[in-house]
Amino acid sequence: MSDDFSPPPRLRSSLWVQAQVRLCSTAAIPAVVSKRGDPDAGSILVKIWRGREDCLVYTPMVTMEGERGWMQALGGEPVTEAEADAYLARQASRDSDLWILEIEDPKGLYRLDGIID
């Protein structure tokens, strides 16, 4: 009997992060893993620096339809780099399994995979 409610298979966190770093590298977009978490199932936060004091922080989410996606943290608005870094530090202090991927993208070339809310 098939279980239609089972979640889709999940990609290992380390593999997803490595793939994003490689994608950025091929597009000449600087990216760095500032915190390594659990290689299999650690949650991932993505900080995108868009220039000057303009940063976006994305956190993973699951839609009502069960699809994986991303949502902007910190009220959904761009924040200063200091605010983004403070948020990331708070999250890292609460979750030792957390991954943090930081991307410098002033030209707006990088695109997260999945739905963005």
Instruction: Output 113 or 2, whichever has higher pLDDT.
Output: 113
Provide the whole-model pTM: 0.89
Give the residue-averaged pLDDT of 57-81.
Answer: 91
Task: Convert 77-100 to b/e letters by CB count within 10 Å (16 or more is b).
Answer: ebbeeeebbebbeebbeeeeebbb
pLDDT tens digits for range 25-68: 999 999 999 999 999 999 999 999 999 889 999 999 988 888 88
Please, what is the average pLDDT of the chain? 91
Domains of the chain: 30-116 (3.40.1530.20)
Instruction: Output 3 or 112, whichever has higher pLDDT.
Output: 112
Q: Answer yes or no: is pLDDT of 20 > 90.
A: yes
